[in-house]
Amino acid sequence: MPEATVSALQLGASADTAATLERILGYEDEIRASGTDLLVLPEAVLGGYPRGELSGDGFTRYFEQAVDLPGPELEALAGLSARTGASVVAGVVERAGSTLYCTAVFLDPVTGFTARHRKLVPTMRERLVWGRGDGSTLPVVATAAGLAGAALCWENYMPLLRAAMYAKGVRVWCAPTVDDREVWRATMRHIAAEGRCFVVSACPYESEGDDPIAGGSLIAGPSGDVLAGPLLGAEGLVTARIDLDETVSSRAQLDVSGHYARPDVFSLSVDETPRPGVRFHGG
């Protein structure tokens, strides 16, 4: 039976990206000791979730804390991946030109930065500072813990996005988030049961300020059962050993993109064409 260890690292983002990165790297020994094959970090853990003044000098300061892909921060995370042997899925604020994106990056222990997923629909105040991703960044990536995909925070409430990812054969669903509500944890269990996959939800823990985040990172199995967590009120690593064969055997009952689908009644078309703001032709 193919087994693997998956983990969520629950920690908050400081206003200084370099300081947050150092705190992540400080978990290297614990990650290695856990035997983690796939590590998931919270949404916007590098760059920070948008708070406070989001215009003028406030936006400039926020923009300066974002990361480039590739860039030195990604190189540091790739080094962590290489040294621990763990694939890493991390939520970052990506700087691309003059636009910021909420992005999940995929890092491999051997090849480093391999793929990205940009959040398709920023929510509420996020829309003031984050651009919208397109269908060209919906990867499913091979890891030591199986095929992994990512949906960021409230993207997990998009039924058609979930259907597209299920159809790509995702076996480990990575959910970087800042949502610490109990109903979020119920959503994670629902996705695990619906997609017959393992779900790793990584949420920050931030106790200071006017908008604290309690955490709640967890790992759920293909029947919707909680395998580890939720971790509340503390920073730390949430870890579970998983059996990937469960994602196969459990789909004998329910395979929403296979025998439980009705393509004669319902259909989904996914446009994965890149949609840049400017296209140059000829020249």
- Which residues carry out catalysis? 43, 119, 153
- Residue 18, H or E segment: helix 17-25
Short-list 252, 143, 145, 155, CA closest to 196: 252
Using DSSP, state whether 243 is helix, strand or coil. strand
Quick one: three-class SS letters along 160-203? HHHHHHHHCCCCEEEEECCCCCHHHHHHHHHHHHHHCCEEEEEC
- Could you give the CA distance from residue 240 to residue 4 in angstroms, rounded to a whole number? 9
163: burial class by Cβ within 10 Å (0-12, 13-18, 19+)? Answer: middle
CA of 55: how far to CAs of 52, 59, 80, 129, 275, in Å? 9, 5, 34, 9, 26
Q: Which two tokens stand for residue 246?
A: 């469960």
- Could you give the CA distance from residue 69 to residue 238 in angstroms, rounded to a whole number? 27
CA of 48: how far to CAs of 86, 135, 159, 205, in Å? 23, 24, 27, 12
How do beta strands 87-96 and 99-108 pair? antiparallel
Amino acid sitting at position 45 = V
- Could you give the CA distance from residue 178 to residue 214 in angstroms, rounded to a whole number? 9
Short-list 241, 260, 272, CA closest to 144: 241
